[in-house]
Amino acid sequence: MTLRQAAQGSEIDQRLAALLTNVNAVRAIASAVEGTIGPKGLDTLLVDRFGEVVITNDGMTILTRMDVNHPAAKMVINTAKAQEEEVGDGTTTATIIAGALVTEGFNQVARGVPVTRVIEGIKIGIAKAVEYIEDKATKVDGIKDPLLRQIALVAGRNNEDIADLVISAAEMVGKEKLLDQRFRFSEIITAKEGAENQVFPGIIVDKKRLNEEMPEDIENPVILVIDDALEAEEIEEEALATEAGFRRYMELQEEFKKNLKKIVELGVNFIVIDKGISDVAEEMLTDAGVMVVTRVASSDLRRVAEHTGARPIKRTGLKKAEEDLKNYLGYADRVYEDEKLKCIKVIGGKGKSAATILVGASTQEVRGERERICNDAASSVQAAIKGGVVPGGGAIEIGCAREVDKLRASQRGMQAYGLQCVVEALKKPLAQIVSNAGFNPLEKTGDVIARQTEEDNLNLAVDCETGEVTDMLELGIVDPAPVKIYALKAAMEIACAILRIDTIIKKKDEEDEGNKKGTQSYRSMEEGF
């Protein structure tokens, strides 16, 4: 009995009802992103209740902005989020393979295969596929390797300008930093309406200076990063009503002014503040010719500190002696406000090297999509440097399917049915890519399997322009190996979790239960009285 038959048949075993419900939810999620995969994939229009529109073919954007209530569907989306955070790309592939795995898994269970055996087979098959990808991955020979630009081009949906920006930024950042597990290459990207495409050795703070009287362009700035508000220490209102309290308040105000003078005397002329600033501080710093930026996001605050070599300080730390405060200062070649883009640029910091990719866009809608495309390209480039590349276009998945199929032939026991699920799921990316390109997926998938087997060449897949079976490496269609590996692991986790669910039970509301207990306790107290 297939999934379709199970959905239509009234005689379905009640034991499978919960599983069927979950499988249908996962399939619905997979269907939402299937049409976007491949070079001929189409866009999706997302509309909220206020009429705001997002047009995209980015799988992660579609998944996270869909109005979803089903718990199984939410599991898929949460796993996709984890993939996005880990490798930054591949969520569409992971979702499509997960949808195919749960569909094929249900079909086997409906035929009478025990769920545990199906899951065992899926785990064995995915482990084999991951091992195969790791073995076949081609290492990238430094940032100058032409394969890296192809990675950026494919992940960047054939936008030449974005691929060039990403590679230029990679060269500026350097291989060592790209290999750093704590560094996310995609975080250096900013898209702005009306901007020109640009890569520069510095960072952007998405804020304007505090007021127009402050300087807008400073050469060789001395920088102070305050991870706090720039205000005098507070005193409780009750204490302020007393003579001693008021005297203490005046002392704190005077001490605060002295600290501000100390900052100016140290030559500080650019201050970045996490929170707000008092009127007294704004007036004094404006008169001293200091540029101040307030309410800066913590991520931008951290990046300013790292790039300029500054050490973030709390407002109480401003009491330190001048010699000690010097150790908290940062330096750069230039800081200026870009009036057109309404942001602050910090160029040539003396701390850790940094680069910013500025992506230009004509409208707000285009800006968001251009930024997402650039994020995918940057994430893929970083993943390729870490783990190498494999042929794209669904070729590597077909190669994996062939290997798992060989394993299935030698497998004893009912785990073989789980392996069959993996084989069918691994065919799905190629089938969907060629379907989106307007070709018959069954025919083209069969052609690729036959040619790969005949020529023992895992690089073969379908050229979506001609429909011919072609070497993907020769076409420059490559994917990062870590993205494929993580997608397979994520799909396996989703499929196994969904297939293991046998019963769906609605939880009682914990808040209502607490109120009910409180009411019962109150009644007991009344009865006691």
Burial (CB < 10 A; 0-12, 13-18, 19+), residue 355, is buried
For this structure, is 376 an active site residue?
A: yes
Contact 23, 103 (CB under 8 A): yes
Q: What is the DSSP letter of 53?
A: E
For this structure, is 44 an active site residue?
A: no
Instruction: Spot the catalytic one: 58, 89, 300, 447.
Output: 58
Of 486, 378, 501, 440, give the one whose Cα is nearest residue 80: 486
Q: CB neighbours of 91 closer than 8 A, spacing ≥ 6? A: 33, 59, 60, 63, 80, 83, 84, 487
Instruction: Spot the catalytic one: 91, 95, 103, 286.
Output: 91
For this structure, is 519 an active site residue?
A: no
Q: What is the DSSP letter of 275?
A: S
77-82 contacts at long range (C-beta below 8 A, 24 or more positions apart): 77/29, 79/490, 79/493, 79/494, 80/490, 82/490
For this structure, is 180 an active site residue?
A: no
- Secondary structure (DSSP) of 428-475: HHHHHHHHHTTS-HHHHHHHHHHHHHHHT-TTEEE-TTT--EEEHHHH
Instruction: Spot the catalytic one: 92, 93, 294, 308.
Output: 92
Q: Six-digit token pair at 469?
A: 């079976």
Q: CB neighbours of 273 closer than 8 A, spacing ≥ 6? A: 226, 228, 229, 230, 292, 293, 294, 295, 296
Q: How far apart are CA 177 and CA 183, in angstroms?
A: 7
Angle at 480 between CA 474 and CA 481, to 5 degrees: 105
Instruction: Spot the catalytic one: 89, 300, 376, 479.
Output: 376
Of 422, 467, 465, give the one whose Cα is nearest residue 447: 467
User: Under DSSP, is residue 182 helix (H, G, I), strand (E, B) or coil?
Assistant: coil
Q: How far apart are CA 408 and CA 126, in angstroms?
A: 12
Q: Six-digit token pair at 306?
A: 């790292």
Contact 87, 383 (CB under 8 A): yes
Q: CB neighbours of 211 closer than 8 A, spacing ≥ 6? A: 282, 286
Q: CB neighbours of 478 closer than 8 A, spacing ≥ 6? A: 147, 150, 151, 154, 384, 389, 390, 391, 392, 472
State whether the Cα torsion 470-473-477-482 is positive or negative: positive
Contact 413, 117 (CB under 8 A): yes
Name the residues annotated as catalytic.
Answer: 58, 91-92, 376
